A and B are shown apart, each in its own frame.
Chain A
Amino acid sequence: MNQLRTIGAAILRRHGFFSIDQIIRATKLSRQKCRDVLVLFCQEKLIRQVKKGRKEHVPGRPPIYAMIYRVIDRKRLTARIGPRRCENTVQDRMWYIMRNKFKSDGSFNLRDLMILSGAKKGMARWYLKALRREGYIIPSRKAGPGVEWRLTGNFGPERPYICSERKQKREDKSLLNAVKMIQRKRQIRPALNRKRAV
């Protein structure tokens, strides 16, 4: 995550007013960097400077100001720090074909994506794989040549953002597995107790 996003996320975590010192403490970035980003957000009218009070002056040091800010547009700030997406990319076109083919025919396949969206075979296969991993689509049978795919819900015209960070996914998976293990143990224990009682 870059510095702008780190600072943006720290601002969003604080509900309402915040000071530059609070942001520095939360992000552990230098004062200058934090100030630069906050000035940029002010220029973009995402946040507003409310107060600029001078801090207690230490002799021999430059003066420091305690600046207090307020978020003007939370939605726009979220969009600003979020990943930016281009329009009419190959992925957009593939998502469009998937939705419309699913609506009209009930399923779609790799060939539909390649022919109608103009995607290369490798790209279309990667996209199907990625969407399947995220749970947006399911195959009609065991994956292989000529398999038909279906959407698992109505996700709207905006194509979903696919996270390419696989490492994080694995961590999530391990966490999920741990939760499942605990749930299983909880289910097994009462059954064991019942057996012992008998």
Chain B
Amino acid sequence: MMKNHFVITKNVKKFQMAVQRINHNRRGVERMALVTGEVGLGKTEAALHYGAHNGAIIIRMWEMMTGHWLLRELVREIGVEPAWRTEKLVDQLKEHLSPKPRTIILDEVDRFLKNQDSKKIAVLETLRDIHDVCHCPMVFVGEEWIDKKMKRLPRLYDRIVEIVRFEKFNISDVKFFVGELSEYRFNDDAIEEITQESGGRIRPIMNLINQAEDSARLNQLKAITARDLK
């Protein structure tokens, strides 16, 4: 049986370190971080794990999200009933976030950088305003090209002090990951096979481990080789 626990991989460590670094009280030093990487490398899961253990606010950005909608979501996440007017919403945010700044993690931010839509850029600029006024650390999570697109917004990009790139798993990462999750011993050829077949992504790796464990249980194996994976 695969173990049910969160594995602190190299990528997760980088994420946690970056968020810790932007959580400071120094005035004048910015508090924005950017997390990029391909699909299926565990960016959202890392953010959720960090948020659950450190009380961060996580907002999932929607394609149709407007500035008002975002503010309402933020106020609701603080635990306050959102006001109707935008001005009041900003006041509510100031009132509750300024004395106790909380880390805000924004997932799927790449949706706001696909095309130069003025409304979407206004949402990002609103986030910058919140960062400047409330001094709360902000983490933008998105696809791998997000940092290049963000350069188009120099006022926002200047405030980003940490860039974390989630990388695909290499053989040593897969070995560590498998060792942490599986109760069976995997031979080196099996690890190589998993790395090649999965392309270094977490979800396919998990599926392959599951399949290998099933076959090991059926055949009463102690160690899993590359042949058992086929």
Complex CA gap A75/B53 in Å reads 29
With an 8 A cutoff between CB atoms, is B199 at the interface?
Answer: no
With both beta carbons as reference points, the residue of chain B lying nearest to A111 in the complex is identified as: B4
Q: Supply 20 further A-B pairs (C-beta < 8 A) apart from A114-B4, A116-B45, A116-B49.
A: A88-B53, A93-B53, A96-B52, A96-B55, A97-B52, A100-B48, A100-B58, A101-B48, A103-B60, A114-B5, A115-B4, A115-B5, A116-B48, A116-B52, A117-B52, A118-B5, A121-B4, A156-B76, A157-B76, A157-B78
Bound: A48/B224 CA distance, A: 74
**A114 partner residues in chain B, CB cutoff 8 A:** 4-5
- In the bound complex, residues from chain A placing their C-beta under 8 Å from that of B76 are 154, 156-157
CB contacts (< 8 Å) of B49 on chain A: these are 116
B28 interfacial contact with A, CB 8 Å: no
> Among residues 105 to 141 in chain A, which have CB atoms less than 8 Å away from a CB atom of chain B?
111, 114-118, 121
* Shortest distance between the CB of B6 and any CB in chain A (Å): 5
Identity of the chain A residue whose Cβ is nearest the Cβ of B59 in the assembled complex: A103
Q: Say yes or no for A104: interface residue by CB 8 A criterion.
A: yes
- A selection of 5 A-B contacts at a CB cut-off of 8 Å is A111-B4, A114-B5, A115-B6, A116-B49, A154-B76
A114 and B53 CA atoms in complex are apart in Å by: 13
Closest 3 CB pairs of A and B: A114-B4, A93-B52, A96-B52
Among B4, B5, B44, B60, the one with the most A-chain Cβ atoms within 10 Å of its Cβ is B4
Residues on A facing B (Cβ under 8 Å): 87-88, 93, 96-97, 100-101, 103-104, 111, 114-118, 121, 154, 156-158
B147 at the A interface (CB under 8 A): no
- What distance in Å separates the Cβ of A131 from its nearest Cβ neighbour in chain B? 16
Number of interface residues of B (CB under 8 A): 18
Q: Decide if B107 is an interface residue (CB 8 Å cutoff).
A: yes
Contact assessment for A157 and B79 in the assembled complex, using a CB-CB cutoff below 8 Å: yes
User: B91 within 8 Å of A by Cβ?
Assistant: no
**In angstroms, how far is the closest chain A Cβ from the Cβ of B92?**
14
Q: Which residues of A lie under 8 Å from residue B58 when comparing CB positions?
A: 100
B204 interfacial contact with A, CB 8 Å: no
Residue of A100, A104, A154 contacting most chain B CB atoms (<10 Å): A100
B44 near A116 (CB under 8 angstroms)?
no
Main SS at interface, chain A:
helix
Contact pick for A118, options B6, B44, B79, CB 8 Å: B6
Alpha-carbon distance A117/B45, docked complex (angstroms): 11
Q: Which residues of chain A have C-beta atoms less than 8 A from B95's C-beta? A: none
Whether the pair B60, A104 counts as a contact (CB closer than 8 A) is yes
CB-CB nearest in chain A for B56 = A96
Contact of B101 with A by CB under 8 A: no
CB distance from A122 to the nearest CB of B (A): 12
Output the nearest chain B residue to A124 by Cβ-Cβ distance.
B4
B183 within 8 A of A: no
Quick one: closest A residue to B46, CB to CB? A116
B77 within 8 A of A: yes
CA distance A157 to B78 in the complex (A): 7
Question: Which residues from chain A contact B55 at a C-beta distance below 8 Å?
Answer: 87-88, 96
CA distance A154 to B81 in the complex (A): 12
Whether A157 pairs with B77 at a CB distance below 8 angstroms is yes
Residues from chain A with a CB closer than 8 A to the CB of B78 are 157
A158 proximity list for chain B (CB < 8 A):
79
B67 adjacent to chain A (CB < 8 Å): no
Which residues of chain B have C-beta atoms less than 8 A from A104's C-beta?
A: 44, 60, 107
User: In the complex, how many angstroms separate the beta carbon of A64 from the nearest chain B beta carbon?
Assistant: 46
**What is the CB-to-nearest-CB distance from A104 to chain B, in angstroms, rounded to a whole number?**
5
Looking at A116, A154, A156, the one whose CB has the most chain B CB atoms below 10 A away is A116
Q: Across the interface, which residues of A come within 8 angstroms of B4, CB to CB?
A: 111, 114-115, 121
A156–B79 contact, CB under 8 A?
Answer: yes
Q: How far is the CA of A154 from the CA of B72 in the complex (A)?
A: 13
Residue of A nearest to B58 (CB): A100
* CB-CB nearest in chain A for B49: A116
Q: Which residues of B contact A121 (CB under 8 A)?
A: 4
